[in-house]
Structure 1
């Protein structure tokens, strides 16, 4: 039986600012970004040297159906979501974050300690993973949801090892397969139509879990879980422990832990 693992924050993320890229400033992104700014402020107040340096990617503009359901207001209609969110937070929280009002595609290379995906399609998730692999990225935090349920999964890029946190693509490779995207991404004609497709609460629920996971990682320096599943219909929130046995239930087999070499006794050394 495998032993649970405690994941420890990399030393470099204690010594300098976290470089964070958020992809998607819509439903979940517009709920998560203010929380990320709060985390930045808390980190600085607690003595962290730099807090968070963030860049936000999103090529979409605010529509009338986004008002009230996402973090936007009537006067925002027609403006780029990434620019709005970043400018608003920079003015209110004193951050110096950057906005990229464009899509993450094959021309983008992401370099960050943490990439946060707040997108709702397999194609977009696949693009994020490929852009991260073209660059240098350590963590991938996927914040995905459907009508009234979703998942927050923190994973690591890099070669497989027994204690590497598996990312979304390791646990659920289907969620990176663009061929399996549903043909239901047609813009809603009204807010009422949009709410029939998706709970008004799900984006905030997912955002809170992502926020708490990052806060725990910073405040305690470690994690004992790396994923959370949220189901609003049942009112349940289920964390997934950092445990190869738990990962195996999703079909991911972590490499075995290296066996420590036995130390030779003094007598055996003398004989040799």
Structure 2
């Protein structure tokens, strides 16, 4: 295994992970069962608390979500967050919480990590602002387009040479709500939805996010903090934890503070 370049905080190795998931649609409904599996594995491997999860989403299931997202015909009309959380609590014995509302300017998020399973810039901006108003360490962004996407794990806080840049650091435009294209109107059929987005992309993105989370726990840290997925070419490209790699996206990490040199002692005149 490659050398760990970012160590998992001690508090997350000795206590429960407080995780907030924003978005219970395509990627969220694919990732949440994996998150429950991770919780179970952590407990079985001796972790003292596993994962405490809260899910935000104000959307309800439409008939065109069935088959593309993690929902069934009998789910139509019900809140996505409540359906998924209640199902996992029943099947996996978790005590997670569903909040069928969106993250907005009235919310202060308090968590070790917020996972954004959203695709609009406005939603990302709201997540970042709610996290900064509250207290959140990590931001795991899971975003996708038609047949490609990205998973980026970053940290909030003052810029430091060793802070993982989050999605807003690497791609400021992704948090600029003014640039949303307004193409998030509901599909009028499943065929229409599949023309907009690959049937596989949500699962592909959720697997990469799951892998990063598993490494944080099992390996005690990470060797890379972001992954780009392109289903059209069959390529998956990780981004190493390296200021040189981050600079390719236009993000300049602050230099490492080096201890000041002690001034040389002057020799006394003879």
Match of 2:195 in 1: 196
CA distance in 2, matches of 1:269, 1:17: 56
The alpha carbon displacement at 1:17 in A equals 0.1
Match of 2:214 in 1: 215
Is residue 76 of structure 2 the alignment partner of residue 80 of structure 1?
no
CA distance in 2, matches of 1:270, 1:36: 65
Match of 1:114 in 2: 113
CA distance in 2, matches of 1:117, 1:270: 62
Is residue 237 of structure 2 the alignment partner of residue 238 of structure 1?
yes
State the aligned residue count. Answer: 266
Q: Conserved in 2, the CA contact under 8 Å of 1:151 and 1:230?
A: yes
Match of 2:248 in 1: 249
Match of 1:137 in 2: 136
Match of 1:65 in 2: 64
Normalising to structure 2: TM-score of the pair?
Answer: 0.96
Higher mean C-alpha displacement, 183-192 vs 161-170:
183-192
CA distance in 1, matches of 2:19, 2:234: 31
Q: Conserved in 1, the CA contact under 8 Å of 2:16 and 2:50?
A: yes
CA distance in 1, matches of 2:267, 2:64: 80
CA distance in 2, matches of 1:248, 1:96: 41
Q: Conserved in 2, the CA contact under 8 Å of 1:156 and 1:164?
A: yes
CA distance in 2, matches of 1:18, 1:97: 12
List runs of 5+ in structure 2 lacking aligned partners. none
Question: What per-residue deviation string (whole Å, max 9, x for no partner) do you get for residues 97-124 of structure 1?
Answer: 0000001000111000000000010000
Match of 1:31 in 2: 30
CA distance in 2, matches of 1:221, 1:270: 50
The alpha carbon displacement at 1:31 in A equals 0.1
Question: What per-residue deviation string (whole Å, max 9, x for no partner) do you get for residues 120-178 of structure 1?
Answer: 10000000000000000000000000000000000000000000000000000000001
Q: Any residues of structure 2 matched to 1:124-203 within 5 Å, and which?
A: 124-203=123-202
Question: What per-residue deviation string (whole Å, max 9, x for no partner) do you get for residues 53-78 of structure 1?
Answer: 00000000000000000000000000
CA distance in 1, matches of 2:188, 2:165: 38
List runs of 5+ in structure 1 lacking aligned partners. none
Q: Conserved in 2, the CA contact under 8 Å of 1:160 and 1:254?
A: yes
The alpha carbon displacement at 1:260 in A equals 3.0
The alpha carbon displacement at 1:50 in A equals 0.5
CA distance in 2, matches of 1:85, 1:263: 60
CA distance in 2, matches of 1:147, 1:258: 42
Indicate how the Cα distance of structure 1 residues 264 and 219 shifts in structure 2: closer, same or farther if over 3 A, else same. Answer: farther
The alpha carbon displacement at 1:263 in A equals 6.9
Q: Conserved in 2, the CA contact under 8 Å of 1:69 and 1:200?
A: yes
Q: Conserved in 2, the CA contact under 8 Å of 1:5 and 1:242?
A: no
